[in-house]
Amino acid sequence: MAERRINNMEKIRTAVAQDLLSGRIDLLLGWEKGLYWWQSRPLFARNSEDLQRLTWDSFCVANLSGYLQEELKENKKIGILLKGCDSRALNRLVQDQMVDRERVVAYGLPCPGLLDPRLLKQEAGLELTALGIEEGEDRVTLTGTKGKSIAREELLLEKCRRCHHPDPVGCDQLLLPPVGSREDRSRFHQVTRLEEIPAEERFAYWSSQFERCLRCYACREACPCCSCRECFVEQEEPRWLGKAHENSENFIYHLTRAFHSAGRCVECGECQRVCPVELPLMELSSKIIKDINELYGEYQAGLDTEQDPPLLTYQPDDPAAFVE
């Protein structure tokens, strides 16, 4: 298995090196290792030396598509490594005409789902520094323990456990064999649970969550849908949002952001993953997605760029029960 991973890495590096070193692309967006084995971070590679640091492992969590808008100002053509969710983000940006697809070379990485370091620590009962992992086909062995082995599915990040489409779509090439769709995974169980709570309790739940918001705007900055050149948060005339970290303002911020990404959220889960106080932000987006599915038929943003986005089309017989 370790051998296969090394082979995969070589395959990826060879493919992107060809394009970067021949000048077909000016920049490659990928990942490199961070401080520890359970951290990988974005890599901006421009030469063969940079490419030596390129990594593809179970911790390459950052969605790199959000960097394209900015980087295309300085680079003619950019290569980008994309997991399934990341590829939907690119497709969505292209559909929104925020990114010129002609100037992007998209390399797809079929994704086995990424591991949650917190779950690894919890399962091992050890500090991560005292731990290592060996990844098998469907299981992960925790080295440093007495060889404890756990189903990979149970160690995945929250965002990966609800992912139906781990294979990238609309890429120029897939660098690894597809992993197949995962429609057996439950996308909406958390939302369904919240829907069942009486409205007052639900309000109390969200109040207690939003109260903890630091207003650091990491959810917005990490979101590939949040591609506005100027966000309503910064607009001063009129001022939509006060700067006080007051709960009513926090509500306005999160609800506005959720509704603004309605029909465009690709469910990459980055908003929730980056939140330093771990607000369950994906539940807001999931609720809207679920409603869209129920009202206008199944739709997953970024999956099929030919399909009309339901909120950007109008039909006279569209259901409108919510305004009647």
Partner 1 sequence: MTKYITSERLPELWARLADRGPLYLPVNEGTAVAFRAWEEGKEVNLEAVNSTVSPKEIFLPAWETYLKFERAGKKLALAPADANGLARPVTAFGLRPCDLRAIELLDLVFVEQDPPDELYTRRRKNTTIVALACSQPDPFCFCTAFGIEPTDAPGADVLAWKTGNRLFMEARTPRGEDWLEENSRLLQEAEGVEKPPPVESADFGLALEGLPENLKGRFEDPIWDQIYRSCLGCGICTYICPTCYCFDIQDYGHQEQGERFRCWDSCQFSHYTLTAGGNNPRPTRKERVRNRFLHKLQFYPERYEEFGCVGCGRCLRSCPVGIDMVSVIRALGGETVAR
**Binding flag, residue 129, partner 1 (CB under 8 A):** yes
Q: Does 282 bind partner 1 (CB under 8 A)?
A: no
> 223 CB contacts (<8 Å, ≥6 apart)?
66, 257, 261, 270, 271
Provide the phi-psi class of 10: left if phi over 0, else alpha when psi is between -120 and 50, else beta: alpha
Q: How far is Cα of residue 178 from the mean position of the Cα atoms in its chain?
A: 19
> Is residue 189 a contact point for partner 1 (CB under 8 A)?
no
217 scored as a contact of partner 1 (CB under 8 A): yes
273 touches partner 1 (CB under 8 A): yes
- The reply on whether position 204 binds partner 1 by CB under 8 A is no
Is the Cβ–Cβ distance between 82 and 64 less than 8 Å? yes
Among 8, 67, 98, 241, binds partner 1 (CB under 8 A): 67
Site string for partner 1, 146-185 (x = CB under 8 A): ----------------------------------------
Among positions 109-128, residues that touch partner 1 (CB under 8 A) are 118, 127-128
Q: How far is the CB of 22 from partner 1 (least distance, A)?
A: 23
Nearest to 251 by CA among 205, 204, 191, 211: 211
**Residue 57 CB neighbours (<10 A):** 17
Tell me what percent of the chain is helix, strand and coil, each rounded to the nearest 5: 40, 15, 45
Figure out which of the listed residues 162, 220, 254, 257 binds partner 1, where binding follows CB under 8 A: 220
Is residue 318 close enough to count as binding partner 1 by CB under 8 A? Answer: no
246 is an interface residue for partner 1 by CB under 8 A: yes
Compute the radius of gyration of the chain from its Cα atoms.
21
Phi, psi torsion values for 177, nearest 5 degrees: -65, 145
- Binding residue (CB under 8 A) for partner 1 from 23, 147, 238, 276: 276
- Using CB under 8 A as the criterion, which residues of the chain lie in contact with partner 1 when the complex forms? 34-36, 39-42, 44, 62, 66-67, 118, 127-129, 212, 214-218, 220-222, 234, 242-246, 270, 273-274, 276-278
